[in-house]
Structure 1
Amino acid sequence: MSNQTPITDPYAYLNIVKNQDGSITRDLTNFPRASATPDPSPLNPVVSKDIPVNNSKSTYLRLYIPTTTVTNGDSSQKLPVIVYYHGGGFILCSVDFQLFHDFNSTMARDLNAIVVAPSYRLAPEHRLPAAYEDGIESLDWIRKSDDDWIRSHADFTNVYLMGTSAGGNLAYTVGLRSVDSDLSPLQIRGLILHHPFFGGEERCGSEIRLVNDQACPPVVTDVFWDLSLPIGVDRDHEYSNPTVGGGSESLKKIGELKWRVMVIGGEEDPMVDRQRDLAELMKKKGIQVTERFTGGDVHGAEILDPSKRGSLFASIRDFVSSSSAL
């Protein structure tokens, strides 16, 4: 992997242009979008719909639920809730990208769960902590919602925060922030960090080993952090480096609440050492951590390759089942 041709222009790689006012122009024509699928037809195993969250911020969420749950009319069937935050380095992507839509539809089907996929404001137009604030706001929407799918079928005692890449960072940070928030009747059982996006000023071993990685090389993640972190801070800020200073004080409370955490990564992801370091830190804080690191997989492998999703969702289903049984 390290012998590949290095990416010398990360802006061109990302199809973005930085503007003089600090915003960026995004060319996302290579990423097809998908509409929600609200029609509960027999050919559609999962239905979905878009619901506004905050009109002033133009945020919304896409809600997924197995079609049979809606059509059988049995409101006594309560399903676990997976709150899923999409990836994109905090500067790209949306919940309606075909890749994320298909991923969430399959997850709702395979886990027999309700998946709530919130949007969030993107940097650099809205730098962190804007995305974290939107992540918390989406939880507040869920707990107060009068939506029929949520009201009739969501198990508020069995909620998990999940995200891929930047979404994994978001799920982690929203989890830390939510321990001091009143989210009743929601009861968060755990975090599912799928290839979570973290960084630091000094290159870690896997970043050095995979410096020329073609999926998400360090030179590209540097741009993500440069555009998303608050002005004037470096990559050792707590938003990007969760292990700095021994980690957040809120980790201790997560342990006391007996949340469980699943950390999922690939051995060919330049961030894999950072993900392992976070898993070790959480263990030291008394948190029960399940690790799933797969050989040969690049950053976001299961998003990019649908053939890998079956085994991933089987692992997550086991994690949710064992966590909810506690």
Structure 2
Amino acid sequence: MEAFKKYSPFVVHTDGTVERIKDTEILQPSPFSDAGVTSKDVDISPNVSVRLYIPHSALSSTTKLTTLVYFHGGGFVAESPFSPIFHTYQDALSAKAGAIIISVNYRLAPEHPLPAAYDDSWEAVEWTVGLSDEWLRDHADLDRLFLAGDSAGGNIVHQMGMRAGKPASKVRLRGLVLVHPFFWGPNLGDTEKEHKELVERMWKMASPPVVGIMQCHWVNWQAEDATPLSKLGCRQVMVCVAELDFLKKKGREYYEALKEIGWEGRVQFVETEGEGHGFHLIKPDCEKARVFMDQLVSFLNHV
């Protein structure tokens, strides 16, 4: 219980209102950042907004750019694209990869429990392929459309990939990047068992009490009602884990499952030794974070 209190990012008052007590700082978009990137905010519906990033030099060019839709982490209950750690990282990644980035501001639980985050994220993906903004119309290469996200955002990436794989979908994805993704289910390892109470308490805030987390297809791709991984709608997947992250085991199992089912795409596994969950966001200037960004950029720009 003490661990849960330590990590809880908000207080739920008796009247039902929610007060977030950490990670509430926001950064404004920049017309020209130190990295040479221009960013702006766009409301795409009453529920969903995005922050767009583009290398400033690309605005005066006709070159089409790799296009990345990004979903932030935070356990479905905290953070936003405007948080310092996410804004700073996307700004740097846009510059390094020479890419347009669409960072999605989806609704958070417990005010808006799942599947609100999934529905909002899919709305942002469809908005992106609709080229509804001038930056996208002039500069986005939808033949190089990727989705990426960390932690809960990595889970969202998986769900978006499954939606893209449905026959009626008009979304065509080049690849997915799942960074320290949140998956759960039976056969927990010792390290996972140490965090089991915390994970289950957080999940109760994020998800309606329809089914227990172990049986929920949103976090357990092996659940009885889960769509088979073979239906994943993309050509390439990069699964990234950190050695000291208790979610590492499930991330590796996801990678192994993609290989074993005979999925026709290309799957890559990246493990960063000696680091924990979200290290690249917490200390982006460390050597291992720089190496990780190089690996991510290489995946995005591989032809």
After TM superposition, is the score higher than 0.5? yes
- 1:314 and 2:274 are equivalent in the alignment: no
- Cα displacement string for residues 218-272 of structure 1 (whole angstroms, at most 9, x for unaligned residues): 44322221111222311120112123349522x2233xx6621100011111111
Higher mean displacement: 97-106 or 171-180: 171-180
TM-score computed with the length of structure 2 as normaliser: 0.91
Q: Does 1:74 align with 2:61?
A: yes
The answer on whether the counterparts of 1:136 and 1:178 sit within 8 Å (CA) in structure 2 is: no
CA 1:151 to 1:183, structure 2 compared with 1: closer, same or farther past 3 Å? farther
Deviations 1:126-162 (A, max 9, x none): 1111111111100111122332211111001111111
Over aligned residues, Cα RMSD in angstroms?
2.1
Structure 2 residue 11 is the aligned partner of structure 1 residue 17: yes
Contact 2:36 2:55 in 1 (8 A): yes
Alignment of 1:269-284 (within 5 A): 269-284=245-260
Is 1:33 the equivalent of 2:26? yes
Deviations 1:77-125 (A, max 9, x none): 1111111000000011111000000010111111111111011111122
Alpha-carbon separation, structure 2, partners of 1:312 and 1:306: 10
Structure 2 CA distance for aligned equivalents of residues 44 and 258 of structure 1: 30
Residues 244 and 277 in structure 2, CA contact (< 8 A), matched pair in contact too: yes
CA distance in 2, matches of 1:131, 1:14: 19
| CA–CA distance in structure 2, aligned partners of residues 282 and 174 of structure 1 | 16
Moved over 6 A (4+): none
What SS does the aligned partner of 1:173 have?
A: helix
TM-score (norm 1): 0.85
Distance 2:289 2:2 in 1: 32
**2:198 aligned counterpart, secondary structure:** helix
The aligned amino acid for 2:211 is V
2:2 counterpart SS class:
coil
Task: Give yes or no for contact 2:148–2:177 (8 Å, CA) kept in 1.
Answer: yes
Judge conservation of contact 1:89–1:221 (CA < 8 Å) in 2: no
Give the aligned partner of residue 202 of structure 2. Answer: 224
Change in Cα spacing, 1:291 to 1:204, as seen in structure 2 (3 Å) is same
Q: Per the alignment, do residues 63 and 31 of structure 1 end up closer, same or farther by CA in structure 2, a change over 3 Å counting?
A: same
Distance 2:151 2:118 in 1: 14
| Structure 2 counterparts to residues 71-220 of structure 1, below 5 A | 73-75=60-62, 77-180=63-166, 184=170, 186-200=171-185, 203-208=188-193, 211=194, 217-220=195-198
- Structure showing greater relative contact order (alpha-carbon pairs closer than 8 Å, 6 or more residues apart): 1
Give the letter aligned to residue 60 of structure 1: S
* Corresponding residue SS for 1:265: strand
Task: Please tell me whether the aligned partners of residues 84 and 162 of structure 1 are also in contact (alpha carbons under 8 angstroms).
Answer: yes
Equivalent pairs, count: 298
